[in-house]
Amino acid sequence: MAYLRSFFIIFICLMIGKGIQHLTGLAIPGSIIGMLILFTALSMGIIPAHWAMQGCHLLIRHMALLFVPVGIGLMNYLDLLTNNTLTILLSTIGSSVVVFVVIGLATHYKENQ
């Protein structure tokens, strides 16, 4: 019963997020909006954490399987990825460097405060 309740909560948050995205036309995916709704509800205590915990643990435990369809889907665009390898590589490295610098500066600032 706990799994059913947990998956129901996750599913409802997902559907609310998709509905908000559809009605507003936001560029943010509905699944992300639903995740933010779930996070907000759990943080504010609207939904007790133990209600969603079992389903979340099950999904996290098998997360690698959830990426298989995405990996297979990427094979359809292998020529596009090959043609843009340098752009993808540079943007990945550049954004990683920016994140590292910002986190380093924030940590340095926090420690010296």
Tens place of pLDDT per residue across the chain (113 aa): 888 999 999 999 999 999 999 999 988 899 999 999 999 999 999 999 989 898 889 888 988 888 888 888 888 888 998 999 999 999 999 999 999 999 999 998 888 77
Same domain, 45 and 84: no
Rounded to 5, what percent of the chain is helix, strand, coil? 85, 0, 15
Range of the domain at 1: 1-64
Cα(97)–Cα(108) distance, rounded to whole angstroms?
16
* Cα angle 32, 91, 27; round to 5: 30
Cα(52)–Cα(5) distance, rounded to whole angstroms?
7
- 95, 43 Cβ separation under 8 angstroms: no
Structural domains counted in the chain: 2
Same domain, 55 and 110: no
Q: Quote the pTM value.
A: 0.62
